[in-house]
Amino acid sequence: MVSSARLPGGAAQPLSLRQSEARDRADRIEVTSYDVSLDLDRGDETFGSVSTIDLVSLGGPTFLEIQPASLLSVTVNDFPVDLSRHQGGRVPIDTEPGSNRVVVDAVMTYRHDGEGLHRSVDPADGRHYVYAMPFLDAAPSIFGCFDQPDLKAEWRFRTRVPRDWVVIGNSPATELEPGVWEIGPTLPLPTYLVALVAGPYHVVRTEHDGIPLGLSARASIAAHLDHDAEEIFTVTAQCFDEFHRLFEIRYPFGDYHQAFVPEFNAGAMESAGCVTFRDPMIFQSRVVRTFHTLRASTIAHEMAHMWFGDIVTPRWWDDLWLNESFAEYMGARVTADATEFEDVWVSEAYSRRSWGLSADQRPSTHPVAGNGAEDAATALQNFDGISYAKGAGILKQLNSHLGDEVFFGGVRDHFQRHRFANATMVDLLEAWERAGAEDLAGFRDGWLLSAGPDTLELDRASGLIRLTPPPGERAGRHHALAVAAAPADRTGTWRVQRLVVDSDTVPVTVPTGAVVLDPEIETWAVTLPDASTLAALPDVLSTSTDPLLRASVWLSVRNALQHARLDPALALDLLAAALPHEDTDDGVGQTLAWALGAVVPVSQDPVAARARVHETAAACVAASQAGSTLQLAAFQGQVSACQEPALLRNWLAAGDRLPEGVVVDLDLRWRILVQLAVRGAIDRDELAAQLADEVTAVSQVEHAKALAALPDAAAKSWAWARFTGEVEVPNYELEAIGLGVWQVGQEHLTDPYVERYFEDLPATAEVRTGYLLAQSVGDFYPRWSINAGTVERARSLLGREDLDPVLRREVVDFTWDLERRLAVVEAFGSSGAIKP
């Protein structure tokens, strides 16, 4: 791919490595070691980078990658390379048969987009922090290298930093002299798994089962890290014990450090020996159980990568499921089986599964394996709900079918045969077959190599379950699932029958009343409730004592709305009837958030619909125990739904209308302030004073969201200057501004920006790359401009042949989402607030 985009620092966007090029280079060379020297003590903008690379070659031409601010020299076996040949982030070199040494000397630019070597300033104290995020193709913006997953090598680092900094990496770091640290040698790793964390971090250490454990976070949140450390260390130790039991292969990378770093794009990154997490996972406010569960499952997910990805690495990104699908499945399973967060499958149903099903129905759907990642840029877009949630769901199904003995027998075989090397889908399937699985060709073709979900729905009149394969795919998947029937009265129990759906139609006994397909969430499919079930659910959903069944119902309800099968008014009726009886944080918090983000905007009267959500949230608060996290989940939803400035002000001041047990801390304070901003009930001076009162990274991000949400023309213009890149802001602030700028009810201010979005979007590829480029497409997409004109504007943009491929994919998907909202509006009517 050739793009006109430009990287931070002014370097041209590099050519994206193609799979064919990677295969050819891996056939020609074997990289044996890297010795990298980084000088991080020369200012805030740039750093020095010298890479010494030893490799064995068949001889002849190849190329290395480097994305410098200034390329000083490249030598091969002490002979200088003509630097004028450096183009598209590549330097062509000529190698000799046998051993070669390549040395790359460059000045590099710190990045502020969460990729490469990211440098940030903590607004709380002005201290600077650095971390490396070389994934997926950002390593060449840190050092010269051969950047592909199947050229694994041993690594050494020598890093010069300010004397009050600490340095952490893939192996234990040693301070050789004040400000000079050495890391390595490491076990063989690809470029994308290199870790470097440097700055005045607060560090906590312990040990478990002979493995040194460490945690680190910014100094300004040291007290919060100390508070959370016991829980994090406990989960870490429990997960290690369970992974060792299941895999029968000990963790091999020495120390295990978990670094919570600022402005991190992903949830976490599995760099061997030093996992990096986004530091909001160190809780600075009271949070609902959902977030403790998410943190635990993320810890387990990243630990699973030490085996799936770090010991055995995919040969190319078309098999990224060998990393992410496995880590997603194992993360949830180990969390459920080994930690106190046994309810993780309920959390996964409300969040990750919905994410995956939406991704799998969009135009960009792709197979779990063999995903068409012809180059690295395409591969980055495939780190989505399909590669994570769908792949995990399919592996859970396979495990249920094979049983643990065969499933983990094959996994252990796979690890042993490809230890510290690379492998493919075929390698793993063969390992399972050697362990006793039957021929897995049908599983491979039906589940791994075909795209899109099947749809399952009840034909009540005919007494059938109907299976509809995705468009363009043939039927052939088998679905083993349960069917649950609601009790005839509120004191009865739900009745469950099991069946296998292996053809277009399967007979089923259909009782009267509500029927729930796949109540135990056992198969990957879109389940659609029939009309009689939707009508009956408000009276019967609260009769279930099974939180997973209730999660399954809400999944089906979400599906029904997305497919324009459900009147938003009925969704609000169900919300009001069932949610005050819900006893899980996920069920309350995530369902309220869905109602505000998906139901209210497509309702006939969004103002009245938001008021109904507020009333339901208030009922949930009243029904919950004072001081419980269930109450907190409900109150967070109540704040987000509130349209009464006087009530918001009362809460902000901890007045008499604040529910007993609720404390307005950092998170709740800014949640209230953002809503005051949306209502125009606060001005910029007061927001600035609120920021000054408690200057933290969280406050700074939420302050940016509040400024963008203000209902005046200046706010929207301010936000737009940041979208276009006219004004550069850190990645978290850019995301917050995008989420703040579009507000239902502010169409008179935002309508002019609908056209501007599609006009200005292509040029954003000149100021952003990678994750942040893709993320900003969705954050700033005019999601509440639900009308045919917006869809036509999107289609017109997609007709441009020169549109950046990353932008194209994201616009296609978000336009599909908009078309789904428009279908609901057309089916059930709308108010003037959202024009049809």
Per residue, the 3-state secondary structure of 76-123, as one string, reads ECCEECCHHHCECCEEEEEECCEEEEEEEEEEEECECCCCEEEEEECC
Structure tokens at 207: 């040990």
Contacts (Cβ under 8 Å, ≥6 apart) of 574: 534, 537, 538, 541, 557
Query: Which residue in the block uniquely carries the two structure tokens 């277009």?
Result: 504
More confident residue, 408 or 370: 408
Q: How confident is the model at residue 14 (pLDDT cuts 50, 70, 90)?
A: confident
Query: How crowded is residue 626: how many other Cβ atoms within 10 Å of its Cβ?
Result: 10
Region 536-556: mean pLDDT is 95
How many angstroms separate the first and last alpha carbons of the chain?
A: 38
What whole-number distance in Å separates Cα of residue 225 and Cα of residue 487? 47
The model's pTM is: 0.96
Query: What span, in angstroms and rounded, lies between the C-alpha atoms of 315 and 91?
Result: 23
> What is the pairing mode between strands 128-133 and 116-121?
antiparallel
Write the pLDDT tens digit of every residue in 252-273: 999 999 999 999 999 999 999 9
Q: Confidence class of residue 374 from pLDDT cuts 50, 70 and 90?
A: confident
Distance CA 580, CA 116 (A): 46
Q: Per the omega criterion (within 30 degrees of 0), is the bond before 80 cis?
A: no
- In 3D space, the residue among 20, 192, 152 whose CA is nearest the CA of residue 422 turns out to be 152
pLDDT band of 411, cuts 50, 70, 90: very high
In the beta sheet, which residues pair with residue 177?
A: 180
Position 475 scores a pLDDT of: 61
pLDDT of residue 381: 86
d(CA 218, CA 127): 9
CB contact at 8 A, 525 and 560 = no
The closest alpha carbon to 252, from 331, 326, 171, belongs to 171
125-173, pLDDT tens digit by residue?
A: 999 999 999 998 999 999 999 999 999 999 999 999 999 999 999 999 9
- Which of 213-217, 242-246, 476-480, 639-643 shows the lowest per-residue confidence on average (mean pLDDT)? 476-480
Neighbours of 643 (CB within 10 A): 14
Residue 831 — φ and ψ, nearest 5°? -100, 180
Asked whether the predicted pLDDT for residue 725 surpasses 70, the reply is yes
Segment 415-447, tens digit of pLDDT: 999 999 999 999 999 999 999 999 999 999 999
* C-alpha separations of 203 from 133, 165, 206, 710, 759 in Å: 20, 11, 10, 39, 47
pLDDT of residue 512: 86
Q: Which residues contact 163 (CB under 8 A, 6 or more apart)?
A: 178, 179
Active site residues: 302
Burial class (CB in 10 A: 0-12, 13-18, 19+), 60: exposed
Residue 381: burial class (beta carbons within 10 Å; 0-12, 13-18, 19+): buried
Q: How far is CA 758 from CA 224, 614, 766, in A?
A: 42, 34, 15
List the beta strands (DSSP E) in 333-489.
Answer: 421-423, 454-459, 464-468, 479-485
The pLDDT of residue 379 is above 90: no
Tokens 């302030």 found at: 673
What pLDDT shows up at residue 357?
Answer: 97
Residue 483 has pLDDT above 50, yes or no: yes
Mean pLDDT, rounded, of the chain: 95
Per-residue tokens: 833: 């607030």
Distance in angstroms (rounded) separating the CA atoms of residues 760 and 755: 9
In this prediction, residue 87 has a pLDDT band, given cuts at 50, 70 and 90, of: very high
How many whole angstroms separate alpha carbon 214 and alpha carbon 207?
8
**CA–CA gap between residue 265 and residue 114 (Å, rounded):** 6
Q: 3-state SS string over 161-189?
A: CCCCCEEEECCCEEEEECCEEEECCCCCE
Mean pLDDT calculated for residue range 487-491: 81
Cis peptide bond prior to 448, omega within 30° of 0? no
Structure tokens at 809: 């994919």
pLDDT band (50, 70, 90) for residue 472:
confident
Q: CA 455 to CA 479: how far, in whole Å? A: 11
- Residue 390's pLDDT band, with cuts at 50, 70 and 90, is very high
461 burial via Cβ count (<10 Å: 0-12, 13-18, 19+): exposed
12: confidence class by pLDDT, cuts 50, 70, 90: low
Q: How far from 31 is each of 52, 98, 714, CA to CA, in Å?
A: 11, 11, 54
Whether 836 has a pLDDT exceeding 60, the answer reads no
User: What angle do the packed helices 289-305 and 321-338 form, to 10 degrees?
Assistant: 130
pLDDT for 287 equals 97
- Say how far apart CA 831 and CA 766 lie, in whole Å: 39
For 563, other C-beta atoms within 10 Å of its C-beta total 17
Six-digit token string for 376: 């690295």
pLDDT, tens digit, for every residue of 594-640? 999 999 999 999 999 999 999 999 999 999 999 999 999 999 999 99
pLDDT band at residue 467 under the 50/70/90 scheme: very high
pLDDT category of residue 831 using cuts at 50, 70 and 90: very low
pLDDT band at residue 371 under the 50/70/90 scheme: confident
**Residue 10 confidence class, pLDDT cut points 50, 70, 90:** very low
Interval 509-542: pLDDT, tens: 888 899 999 999 999 999 999 999 999 999 999 9
pLDDT grade for 11, boundaries at 50, 70 and 90: very low
pLDDT class for 370, splitting at 50, 70, 90? confident
Q: How confident is the model at residue 830 (pLDDT cuts 50, 70, 90)?
A: low
- Could you tell me the pLDDT band of residue 489, with boundaries at 50, 70 and 90? confident
Report phi then psi at 108, rounded to 5: -115, 160
